[in-house]
Amino acid sequence: MITIAWMTVREMVRRRFAIAALLGTLVLVALTGWGLQHIHTIHKQHGHALSPLEIRAVTAALVPLIAYLFSFILAFAAIVLGATMLSAEIESGVLLPVLARPISRGAVVVGKALGLSALLCAYAAISGGLEFAVIDAVTGYQPPHPVAAIAALAALAIVMLCLTLAVASRLQTVATSIVAVAGFGVSWIVGIVASFGPVYHNETLLRIGVVSQLLLPSDALWRVAVYQLQPAVLVATFGLSGWPGPFFVLSPPPPAMLAWSAVWVVAVTAIAVRSFAARDV
């Protein structure tokens, strides 16, 4: 298992995927820094520049958007990596001599899951850390709980990875990617729709949202991440009226949802292991 996990990490590094991802992220971070720089040049109607407080307020509203971008990158990276490291390796035959070794199918799946999770977490930490550092340097704004937000985004990536591996244990690369992207997309849209629930006090919408989050906790984890990025002032200001959509979260999913996400990851990995163990290769 450790051998497989280590091999997975080595593959990413040796094939320069890791370095490519980091370079791409550097460009992205630089672009957001350059964009935020422009807040300084916004002038109020009567010609005065924004005060530092106002700059921080505008930035606070923009940070969830930037986090959103990173959540997409992480989710799609998890899907692509999961599909290529399992489906594609079965299709190409690279896995055949490996599976003939004295190693269980479960160790192969879990090893790959661990290796890829470690990479996704490392990527989330590095890119998130860089991004928040640049935001701070340019605007002087620091979101309240950046580390917790990054952890929630990493957890989102792990959730998508586990879903992808479970599907990849049976389907081919392209089909796996489609199913995983569709799952992510549906959970995302249902999350947005359900966010109107509290605003209109609609029980059905609320319930649909919870069911969707139970089935695939990716959107729940996104909401946890956003909540960690919102300053208390903002929550207090908009708190009474409520604010639907993915960028503002009044009440984050309860801690039980976090516990459920952990259970979900373990359960779906177990499904992936069982399904892979039973298949012909």
Comparison of 173 and 195: residue with beta carbon closer to another protein: 173
Comparison of 87 and 139: residue with beta carbon closer to another protein: 87
| Single-letter code of the amino acid located at 1 | M
DSSP string computed for 8-57: HHHHHHHTTHHHHHHHHHHHHHHHHHHHHHGGGG-B-TTSPBPPHHHHHH
Here the tokens at position 228 are 């960690």
Dihedral sign, Cα of residue 143, residue 129, residue 147, residue 223 = positive
Q: Does 19 bind another protein (CB under 8 A)?
A: no
* Minimum CB–partner distance for residue 169 and another protein (Å): 15
Q: Does 215 bind another protein (CB under 8 A)?
A: no
Q: Does 104 bind another protein (CB under 8 A)?
A: yes
Task: Tell which one of 42, 49, 94, 266 touches another protein (CB under 8 A).
Answer: 94
Q: Does 172 bind another protein (CB under 8 A)?
A: no
Comparison of 93 and 255: residue with beta carbon closer to another protein: 93
* Minimum CB–partner distance for residue 99 and another protein (Å): 6
Q: Is 276 in contact with 169 (CB distance < 8 Å)?
A: yes
Query: By rule CB under 8 A, what count of residues binds another protein?
Result: 20
Q: Does 99 bind another protein (CB under 8 A)?
A: yes
Q: Does 203 bind another protein (CB under 8 A)?
A: no
Q: Which stretch binds another protein (CB under 8 A): 20-28, 97-105, 182-190, 262-270?
A: 97-105
Q: Is 26 in contact with 127 (CB distance < 8 Å)?
A: no
Here the tokens at position 8 are 């997975």
Alpha carbons 105 and 102: distance in angstroms, whole number: 10
Q: Is 228 in contact with 152 (CB distance < 8 Å)?
A: yes
Question: Residue 74 contacts by C-beta under 8 Å, 6 or more apart in sequence?
Answer: 120, 123, 124, 153, 154, 156, 157, 160
Q: Which stretch binds another protein (CB under 8 A): 11-19, 40-48, 57-65, 74-82?
A: 11-19
Q: Is 187 in contact with 219 (CB distance < 8 Å)?
A: yes
Q: Does 251 bind another protein (CB under 8 A)?
A: no
Task: Tell which one of 27, 41, 45, 93 touches another protein (CB under 8 A).
Answer: 93
* Minimum CB–partner distance for residue 90 and another protein (Å): 11
Q: Which residues bind another protein (CB under 8 A)?
A: 3, 7, 11, 14-15, 92-94, 96-104, 278, 280-281
